[in-house]
Amino acid sequence: MRRAIIVLLAVLWVAGCTTRPPIKLPGTLSPLIPSDIRVALTTTPGTYRLMFTTPVALHLEEAVYILDASIGELELQLTRYGITIKNERRYLRLPFPITLVFESLDPQPMIRWQGKPYQGTLTLHADDGEVAAVLTVPMDIYVQSVLPAEMPSGKKQYLEALKAQAVAIRTYALWHVHHPRHRWFDVYGDVRDQVLGPYGDDWQNPLIHEAVTATRGMMLTTPQMPRQPVRIQYHSTCGGAFELVGDSLLASRVKKDERLGEENCVISPLHRWVRELSVEQLVNNLMAEKILPRQHGTHLLEKGAQITLSIADRTVSGRSKILTISLPDTVVQVEGFAIRRILQSPNGGALPSNYFFLFPNPQNPRKFYIFGAGYGHGRGLCQWGALGQALEGVGFREILKFYYPNLQVSGVLP
Amino acid sequence: MIFPRYQYGWMFLILSFWLPGYGQNPVPDPVMQYLKNRSFPQLIEQYGSQTIHLTLPSRRTRQLDSLPYQLQQGFRVQVIATKFAKVARRVFQQVQQLGVDSVYLVEETGLYKVQVGNFTQRDSARKMLDRLYYAGFKDAWIAPATIHLPKLVSSSATPLMYYAIQIFASRHEKEARKIQQQYAHQLNWPVWIERMDHLWKVLVGKFTEEATARQVLEKLRLQGWNEAWLTQVWLD
């Protein structure tokens, strides 16, 4: 008996000494796909409030600085000539060109930027004429930060739409990791790319968490290249028709956003909208956008004029491409997003979309109406349409197939 | 479809609301319902290529339009015209104390004038002249002047749509015109045609009230128009 116990212990000891393959952490991304993304918090020179909630080390020539919550909020000045970090007790001034890497001493680094909490590692850059504050964020944290800022998550029935959106966010981000916006960062953290929401209550939302974890490692690819993310687009509300995008952004086909005869995005608050604009406001907008010289515009406002408006060209889905404005002695053509700014009302901001038609006000030739549909550029996934489909019980794979029929959902986890 | 008849109507929307900015004033339900119930690509196809003609008024016209009154040639009772502002101001206050409406102190061609009232006819100004005379302003006289008249405000806003009775529809314009001409002199209400979604429709009357339209419909049915029905038409 004693001999048997000794043999058993010996076997266990030998077995314990044998080499084992390393344990793969769940969610480790393929070497082809970087696991982090660099997000620009700002690229504008200015003064910002910064606080390190978890400890970081800043290695400089003269010393290593440990910064944490105990030193409180810092004032960060990003200028074209360098970076200044200061509070009542500390003052660091570093001339350009400079890159400051705040090495995290915590596995879950947290900062407060302009009073809002973010998870990630901060890097500051200043070069001749350029500045940037860049947050390096693990991809899943990035998706989890963007998702609540991009889509409503108040209803349990929205889950499938949230999953579809999570895949879209990840695909967009991964493509930009391979095609960075700038040598310092991959994407902007605002509407120029995807809005990076702060770490907050939304993170506690189980729907967001489930949508991110259930689609972990999934992205949209072409069937021909299943390991390469494609450049996709998505938008808030299509208003009834959207343009298909895939590996090329040339929208060549248009698709109705309908299911069983009902438009999917009808639940959007901007499914249909109406604006009214006066001709004086139009002239003021043209001057503000520097499309019309101020001298010319002022002359028109002083003397009066007959002005005609027409949409000279539309995209395949019917969105306004070129707006022609005929003024005395000149014809102005406005294209793309500028159309939305030219037709903005004094209090309403730019038009929600280019999907509109103009209508005269027969009671008042100084005013006209803009009847529109949707919000955004109208290419790729319609977020409110996806929500509408989710409410009808459609799964996220079907939703993605509907909006990106030429793409497939691929996994990037090994 | 909440408003099934809309799909046949022209969407010449005359909106009697003011929408200064998105989200501030709700858009009237019928307009939004109309837009919601129509396919937007179809609306773009129908209205997307039209040209909008706008009139930018001169600054002077805009200023006049922004006044709460309109300017017109008429008459005022002029109490004094003097080179001295102090004197004019004192007389102005004295006239004001009489409790009369519309007392003005104006400067024209280097003279300070105190004027009373806005009269379109000289006879109307004469009563005011008498009143001022007995109040002690014996040198007052009636003078032609640019007067202020309240702007006329339309008593009712133009409706968004009309009710009408549809009596006939055809794909061919000729047929519709023939029916229109045939019954234009027989019916008590105007008979007109409207092209809606590739159909030429012959309509009777333009009624702002649904109840009135229904009464007419009943009368038409009694006259033998059993197939007639009530429809809504956007104003054109």
Contact (CB<8Å) B55/A274: no
Q: What is the DSSP letter of A349?
A: B
How far is A364 from B55, CA to CA, in rounded Å? 9
User: In angstroms, what is the C-alpha Rg of chain A?
Assistant: 27
Amino acid at residue number A230 = V
Contact A310 B14 (CB under 8 A): no
Helix (H) or strand (E) holding A398: helix A396-403
Interface test with B, best of A257, A272, A278, A281 (most B CBs within 10 A): A272
Q: Chain A closest CA to B59's CA: distance in Å?
A: 5
What was the pLDDT predicted at A199?
83
CA distance B154 to chain A (A): 12
Tens of pLDDT, residue by residue over A78-134, are 987 889 999 888 888 888 889 999 999 998 899 999 999 999 999 999 987 899 999
pLDDT at position A184 over 90? yes
Which of A358, A382, A384 has the highest number of chain B CBs within 10 A, making it the mutation to test binding with B?
Answer: A358
Neighbour tally for A405: CB within 10 Å: 12
Amino acid letter for position A135: L
What is the structure's pLDDT at B23?
Answer: 37
User: For residue B43, which residues of chain A lie inside 8 Å, CB to CB?
Assistant: 357, 371
Question: What phi and psi values does residue A27 have, to the nearest 5 degrees?
Answer: 90, 5
Structure tokens at A362: 């027969």
CA B34 from centre of chain? 24
Residue A22 has pLDDT above 50, yes or no: no
pLDDT of res. A25: 35
Distances from the Cα of A370 to the Cα of A229, A413, B23, angstroms: 38, 48, 14
Average pLDDT (B4-14) is 36
Residues from chain B contacting residue A304 (CB–CB below 8 Å): 55-59, 61
Q: Do B19 and A309 touch (CB under 8 A)?
A: no
pLDDT digits (tens, 9 = 90+) for A361-398: 877 888 898 999 999 999 999 999 999 999 999 999 99
Which of chain A's residues have a Cβ under 8 Å away from the Cβ of B32?
272, 274
In chain B, whose CA is at the least distance from the CA of A347? B21
At residue A248, the pLDDT reads: 53
Contact A230, A175 (CB under 8 A): yes
Q: Please state the rounded mean pLDDT for residues A300-323.
A: 92
φ, ψ of residue A395 to 5 degrees: the values are -80, 165
Q: What is the ipTM of this complex?
A: 0.74
Is B21–A346 a contact, with Cβ atoms under 8 angstroms apart? Answer: yes
Q: Which of B169, B174, B152, B161 is nearest to B203 (CA)?
A: B169
Nearest by Cα to A371 from B4, B1, B36, B196: B36
Q: Which region, left, alpha or beta, applies to residue B152 given φ > 0 means left and ψ of -120 to 50 means alpha?
A: beta
| Average of per-residue pLDDT across A241-268 | 79
Top residue of B2, B56, B65 to mutate, by most chain A CBs within 10 Å, is B56
Question: In the structure encoding, which two tokens stand for residue B231, read together?
Answer: 């429809």
Nearest to B77 by CA among B128, B41, B31, B30: B128
Laid out side by side, the sheet with A116-119 consists of: A91-95, A82-86, A74-79, A46-52, A110-113, A116-119
| Residue A70 three-state SS | helix
First to last CA, chain A: 47
Pairwise CB contact (< 8 Å): A241 & B41: yes
Set of chain B residues whose Cβ sits within 8 Å of the Cβ of A302: 58-59
Name residue B141's amino acid: W
- pLDDT band with cut points at 50, 70 and 90 for residue A358: very high
Angle CA(B30)–CA(B34)–CA(B40) in degrees, nearest 5? Answer: 150
pTM of this prediction?
A: 0.68
Task: Please write the tens of the pLDDT for every residue from B118-132.
Answer: 987 787 889 899 999
Chain A CB contacts of B58 below 8 Å = 302-304
Q: What pLDDT score does A10 carry?
A: 67
Q: Which helix (H) or strand (E) holds A58?
A: strand A56-59
Instruction: Give the phi and the psi of residue A307 in degrees, each rounded to 5.
Output: -125, 140
A391 backbone dihedrals φ, ψ, rounded to 5°: -65, -25
CA distance A118 to A51: 10
